[in-house]
Amino acid sequence: MNLQVKQEGEFQYIDEGEGEVLLLLHGLFGALSNWHGVVDHFSKQYRVVIPLMPIYEMALHKAGVPGLVSFIEDFVKFKQLSNLSLLGNSLGGHVALVYTLKNSAKVKRLVLTGSSGLFEDSMGGSFPKRGNYEYVKERVEYTFYNPETATKELVDEVFDITNSNAKCLRIIAIAKSAQRHNMAKDITNIKVPTLLIWGLNDTITPPLVAHEFNRLIPHSELYFIDKCGHAPMMEHPERFNSILDKFLANTKARETAT
């Protein structure tokens, strides 16, 4: 499936399928293509919506987790979305957590995969090194268990981003905001059913982070995928989709029973 990016006003987004809304939030370097496997599978039963977050274009003083949450709030309002199954990877998971706490009436289920919010070995600090393709390639490969998952197209995309001064400033500002914004005290207040899908070999948000999310978020379920890094939906899309499918079916069954 070729993902068609739509534009309305300030918003760019993917919108495929019909039914209950599955709202996907990408990470700091997360291309929309990261979600191909999820869209292909779930758009047969759900309306899969992916807003393109303005990570590289937003006003510098707004470049942070709160600014991105505000953007998602505006997008959800603009598209008149409700009863969300909200899914976030990496930084997108962090945004999903804050959004859920602020807008609990709109979220039915929460799904986190490789989420920041507690701890992450981010690409901040010395990264990004401008003009050093091999270094960028190495850092992108570090995201995955199997380095071959880091296609040339993906590396080229990140390399182009790191060669823009304006984009780099925003990346660093957002990464620092995420590191400052520790959510350990807040996420105990999440009430919706929560699914955690984690790569057993995630080096950016290691398994210990997943266990801590599981301990702190009530009614959360944790599943690990072996030989998998920071983006399970890319490295093992079939396994990822199978776990998500069961979670959605089980939570729907419980809703029907009550």
Q: Are 93 and 181 in contact (CB under 8 A)?
A: no
Q: Are 200 and 117 in contact (CB under 8 A)?
A: no
pLDDT at position 257 is 76
pLDDT at position 163 is 87
pLDDT at position 126 is 44
Q: Which residues lie below 8 Å from residue 217, measured CB to CB, with a gap of 6+?
A: 187, 188, 190, 194, 196
pLDDT at position 116 is 93
Please state, in angstroms and as integers, the Cα–Cα distance from residue 9 to each residue in 81, 99, 139, 244, following that order.
Answer: 16, 22, 34, 32
Q: What is the CATH number of domain 6-257?
A: 3.40.50.1820
Burial degree of 132 (CB within 10 A; 0-12, 13-18, 19+): middle
Ordered by start, the domain boundaries in the chain are 6-257
Question: pLDDT by residue for the chain (258 residues), tens digit each?
Answer: 678 899 999 999 999 999 999 999 998 876 677 899 999 999 999 999 999 999 988 998 899 999 999 999 999 999 999 999 999 999 999 999 999 999 999 999 999 999 999 987 654 444 456 678 998 899 889 999 999 998 998 899 888 888 888 888 898 898 888 888 899 999 999 999 999 999 999 999 999 999 999 999 998 999 999 999 999 999 999 999 999 999 999 998 888 876
Beta strands 47-51 and 84-89 are unpaired
Q: Which of 89, 84, 81, 73 is nearest to 107 (CA)?
A: 84
Q: Match 């379920």 to its residue by tokens.
A: 221
Percentages of the chain per state (helix, strand, coil), in multiples of 5: 45, 15, 35
Q: Which of 176, 137, 128, 172 is nearest to 156 (CA)?
A: 137
pLDDT at position 112 is 98
Reported pTM = 0.93
User: What's the rounded Cα separation, in Å, for the pair 61 and 80?
Assistant: 27
pLDDT at position 120 is 72
Please state, in angstroms and as integers, the Cα–Cα distance from residue 12 to each residue in 1, 78, 120, 123, 177, following that order.
Answer: 18, 12, 28, 25, 24
pLDDT at position 162 is 84
